[in-house]
Amino acid sequence: ETGVTQTPRHLVMGMTNKKSLKCEQHLGHNAMYWYKQSAKKPLELMFVYSLEERVENNSVPSRFSPECPNSSHLFLHLHTLQPEDSALYLCASSPRGVYNSPLHFGNGTRLTVT
Amino acid sequence: SQELEQSPQSLIVQEGKNLTINCTSSKTLYGLYWYKQKYGEGLIFLMMLQKGGEEKSHEKITAKLDEKKQQSSLHITASQPSHAGIYLCGADRSGGSQGNLIFGKGTKLSVKP
């Protein structure tokens, strides 16, 4: 049990579908993150939310749309994705503003776009 | 922009052997994090190093940050099958308080029983 729960664990979707990834943290943290992990590439930071406000968007295409309704929940809404978007999507949380505090990761959603 | 290079990319060792994984940064490290990842799962935090020359140990894993704070090593003593996985180093991009980490590509470790 990592304290950060992601659902679903696996998702297969067509290029015209709309789906959402969900992340929930039970650690009392106030910052949440989306990372993308593709084969043979470093983890890529996608979005950062601090106190429910988006503080970073790392040039992510608009077909990825994050939502943070409260400090415990984070969503990633997906629409008209491309096959190259297939990857492991990892959610993380941390107590933002606490010096050198590590990120706590969920187990990820394995996304396959067909 | 800062980059982290890990070596080797993959490693196969016999159970009981020692091994070392390296992480080299193109810029000074404010904080260096080591994580372990089982295939297809999330990252588990191992250790964090901040000060030049710092060394930390947990069970059979020791991590060091060199004096110039641009390289870190992770050493596993008497490896076991449970050590198998992908080891990733991560660095804070913004001086320690932001939590935005960049990562190396990882080192895949296999331990043969």
Cβ–Cβ < 8 Å for B76, B82? no
* Chain B residues with beta carbon closer than 8 angstroms to that of A40: 105
Dump pLDDT digits (tens) for B32-80. 999 999 988 899 999 999 888 899 999 999 999 998 889 999 999 999 9
Tell which residue, A95, A39, A85, A42, has the closest CA to residue A64: A85
* Category of A92 on φ-ψ map: left (φ > 0), alpha (ψ -120 to 50) or beta: beta
* Category of B97 on φ-ψ map: left (φ > 0), alpha (ψ -120 to 50) or beta: alpha
User: Do residue B41 and residue A108 have CB atoms under 8 angstroms apart?
Assistant: yes
Residue type, B28: T
- Average pLDDT of span B2-27: 94
Residue type, B26: S
DSSP 8-state code for residue B71? E
Q: What percent of chain B clears pLDDT 90, i.e. is strictly above it?
A: 67
User: Do residue B88 and residue A99 have CB atoms under 8 angstroms apart?
Assistant: no
Smallest Cα distance from B113 to chain A, Å = 27
- Taking 90 as the threshold, does the pLDDT of residue B86 lie above it? yes
Token couple for B2: 């800062």
Q: Which residues pair with A58 in a beta bridge?
A: none
Residues with Cβ within 8 Å of B59's Cβ and at least 6 positions away in sequence, in order, are none
Helices (H), chain B: none
